[in-house]
Structure 1
């Protein structure tokens, strides 16, 4: 699903113009991005949580040559689905409406 798909769904559900729906989607994503940039978790009820996680430096290995190398410390974005989202996915129903 793309931004345009989300905007189209908003147009169909709520009758907003395509431009306003696209702006709404963009603003929501910008707010989420800004919160994550500040190190905050983004929690969406009945959907899940986006979290920035810090990974420590560790020794890794090149799978082709088997040579060890240092994998640097970094931050990664993770998503944990809510229990209700997990249940819907397992039941094959997708998100609630």
Structure 2
């Protein structure tokens, strides 16, 4: 489902204009991004939990040249689905 399809579906379900739904959706995504940037955990009931995790530096090997490379640390976003969601799509 694309963003446009999601906006149209929500607009029909809520009885809102597509412009209003698009603004609310954009604001929601912006808020999630902002919270994740602050290392906050975001819990959405019956859906799941978004959280950031710091991955340490590691050594990787190029399979073609066998050259060892140092991969710098980075922050990764993880999503853990709620039990209800897991059970529904087992």
- What is the TM-score normalised by the length of structure 2? 0.92
- After TM superposition, give the deviation of residue 69 of structure 1 in Å: 1.1
The answer for unaligned runs of 5 or more in structure 2 is none
Count matched residues.
90
- After TM superposition, give the deviation of residue 2 of structure 1 in Å: 2.6
Where does residue 51 of structure 2 map in the other structure?
51
Where does residue 14 of structure 2 map in the other structure?
14
4+ aligned runs moved over 6 Å, structure 1: none
1:49-73 Cα distance to aligned partner (Å, 9 max, x none): 1111000111111121121111111
The answer for unaligned runs of 5 or more in structure 1 is 91-97
**Secondary structure of the equivalent of 2:60?**
strand
Note the 1:26-65 alignment, pairs <5 A. Answer: 26-65=26-65
